[in-house]
Structure 1
């Protein structure tokens, strides 16, 4: 398995729709992913295996020094092989190159081993309001 990581890589909305539905266990919903990330994000990382999209992460930002990971997802067939950590590493590298000082990720407790142990995030306190 050779994974190619591409910053601001081309993708079809249908590819991310399918990956997102599988990864977040919800029905397939069509979204306008490409236009959304082009308008609102510092960038995104696509992971491909033999041309197929197997991972994706969106890197949103505040226009200054804070970048935020959103929608980090890896195809079930590729989980546990370091693809997610590779996505995050490329996202961090590119955010650093854009002179961001901080990369944030919100996650639930079951994802702590991934974000803290595999990706090197430091746990912090945060707050959330359901809207």
Structure 2
């Protein structure tokens, strides 16, 4: 099946909420994803397969040269098929087109091969405070 990627595409809150819950563990939260991304994001990428949402990534930004990936997620049955890398590649392209000079991502150690090898990010030193 062919995967299509859509920048700033229309999506259903329930579908993204379910995808997010599956990908990150836990129950659906009832978040209004549409309102969230429209308020805070440079854009987002939806991955579609035969009309079904199978992947999503949110690209937030500072309004200048820094953009950040959040909520990269692929449906469980479709992982390891290149969909996540496709989502990130489209996000990179669109952030570059918007004039961003940097695209940041935070991830846990088990995702290093995905972000560094499959997506081309390079490791950097960073800091984090758990709130």
SS in 2 for 1:116: helix
Q: Which residue of 2 aligns with 1:48?
A: 48
How big is each residue's C-alpha offset from its partner over 1:7-26, in whole Å with a ceiling of 9 and x where there is no partner?
00100100001000000011
Q: TM-score, normalised by structure 2?
A: 0.99
Please, what is the CA RMSD of the aligned residues? 0.5
Aligned to 2:85: 85
CA distance in 2, matches of 1:40, 1:49: 26
- Runs (5+) with no aligned partner, structure 2: none
Q: After TM superposition, which residue ranges in structure 1, 4 or more long, deviate above 6 angstroms?
A: none
Partners of 2:50 and 2:80 in 1: CA distance: 18
What SS does the corresponding residue of 2:128 show, helix, strand or coil?
coil
Aligned to 1:63: 63
CA distance in 1, matches of 2:36, 2:100: 21
The DSSP-based 3-state class of the residue aligned with 1:121 is coil
Q: Distance in 1 between matches of 2:72 and 2:32?
A: 17
Alignment of 1:9-48 (within 5 A): 9-48=9-48
Return the offset for 1:28.
Answer: 1.6
Structure 1 position 121, deviation (Å): 0.2
Q: Report the alpha carbon displacement of residue 59 of structure 1 after superposing the two structures with TM.
A: 0.1
By how many angstroms is 1:125 displaced? 0.9
Corresponding residue number in structure 2 for 1:113 = 113
Give TM-score, length-normalised by structure 1: 0.99
> Match of 2:75?
75
Instruction: Give the 3-state SS of the residue equivalent to 2:5 in structure 1.
Output: strand
Instruction: Report how many residues are paired.
Output: 131
In structure 2, distance between residues paired with 1:30 and 1:128:
27
